[in-house]
Amino acid sequence: MSKFTKWVAGAVLGATAMVGASVSATAEETIKVGILHSLSGTMAISETTLKDVMLMLIDEQNKKGGLLGKKLEAVVVDPASNWPLFAEKARELISVNKVSAVFGCWTSVSRKSVLPVFKELDNILFYPVQYEGEESERNVFYTGAAPNQQAIPAVDYLAAEEGVKRWVLAGTDYVYPRTTNKILEAYLKAKGVAAEDIMINYTPFGHSDWQTIVADIKKFGSAGKKTAVVSTINGDANVPFYKELANQGIKATDIPVVAFSVGEEELAGLDTSNLVGHLAAWNYFMSVDVPENKEFIKKWQAFTNNPKRVTNDPMEAHVIGFAMWVKAVEAAGTTDPDKVIDALIGVSVPNLSGGYSTMMPNHHITKPVLIGEIKADGQFDIVQQTAGLIMGDEWSDFLEGSKDLISDWRSPLKCGNFNVVTGKCGGSK
């Protein structure tokens, strides 16, 4: 039982008249929803689909009658894989477009860029992508995986099922890979892995020349111990990375790669013939065989008018986050962020794996963890799935400065980094 579970055990589980306004509210007014995803630049390969799924979800909700008697209106902006521009576009959505909530960001650096804006203007961000943890903000709801819901289970799988003894931690050079690998390095060492059996490498966004790095990985894996690559490489750099693995004859049977940012959408643009057997860890795969997922895929392909359009994990996170927002707005009877933030805690909605995900007091959700093997058709064969749902741990138990921290945004605590040893709140980070 985690420190957070112990802390919360037994706990969780209208209209305002505008005096002097010149124009009264009418039925034609809309509730605006912001969509903050890169439609150009290095991250467009991953983020464009998230814009599309949000448009579908908003369209579906409008066909149900909208929300609070009003239609929803999507406001789409393109921060263009430019991290400072994310903050500018977030401010535009909230201050100019008057959106009630924002669904967006992919990289942690883009999320970090917008945090001051959401705090200052008191709006809500639903963040749908796996991330490094070490954060819990009142204005953010994290519907992607924390490290204990993806990275650590992936390492456990490789150690137990593949007998991996040497580890290459390869990532793009920004917040998420560096912090995740810091956690994984501490975790591996706690499990008895020697420092010389851990290789760490970082490359810039959009990196394309992988020949030397892959050669180094191949050499590192030739020491007589089973070796694996744990990949936090993000965006379109994955295309030349996997191509170079194939060029140098590295197969999954030799040095398996488990990726945290490669899903069905990314594989759709790759020649997967040489990737068969490599792995990914997510909380959802398109190949999940349950009626809820089959129905979602059917609706998605009809909406995009493309019978070959794939689904992926961050899409499911938006499905869950949007459903939670709708339910919380209905419960609060308003889109006022302060009231919706309070109403979101404890909300449970169906996920696409056949169960229900719940928003916990630390603003993270419960999720299953799945390990999948890449197939020749770009889909995943699910080789392992947790028996139940895992609660996201926002503060790592393996980092010295974090192991005593928890987050609980309910009254009376309302703290993002409460120290259970000192009994003091350090304020949100």
What are the structural domains of the chain?
30-145+290-367 (3.40.50.2300), 148-189+199-288+370-390 (3.40.50.2300)
Give 273's DSSP letter: G
Could you give the CA distance from residue 127 to residue 113 in angstroms, rounded to a whole number?
13
297: Cα separation from own chain's centroid = 20
* pLDDT 10s digits, 115-131: 999 999 999 999 999 99
CB burial of residue 92 (10 Å; 0-12, 13-18, 19+): middle
Amino acid code (one letter) for 57: L
Contacts with 52 (C-beta within 8 Å, 6 or more apart), sequence order: 303, 304
Could you give the CA distance from residue 350 to residue 343 in angstroms, rounded to a whole number?
17
**What is the residue-level pLDDT of the chain in tens, covering all 429 positions?**
455 444 444 444 433 333 333 333 344 599 999 999 999 998 998 899 999 999 999 999 999 999 999 999 999 999 999 999 999 999 999 999 999 999 999 999 999 999 999 999 999 999 999 999 999 999 999 999 999 999 999 999 999 999 999 999 999 999 999 999 999 999 999 999 999 999 999 999 999 999 999 999 999 999 999 999 999 998 888 889 988 999 999 999 999 999 998 899 888 877 888 789 999 999 999 999 999 999 999 999 999 999 999 999 999 999 999 999 999 999 999 999 999 999 999 999 999 999 999 999 999 999 999 999 999 999 999 999 998 999 999 999 999 889 999 999 999 999 999 999 999 998 644
pTM of the model: 0.89
Backbone angles phi, psi at 256, to 5 degrees: -70, 145
Label each residue of 202-262 as H, E or C.
EECCCCCCCHHHHHHHHHHCCCCCCEEEEEECCHHHHHHHHHHHHHCCCCCCCCCEEECCC
Angle at 165 between CA 159 and CA 166, to 5 degrees: 120
Could you give the CA distance from residue 359 to residue 365 in angstroms, rounded to a whole number?
5
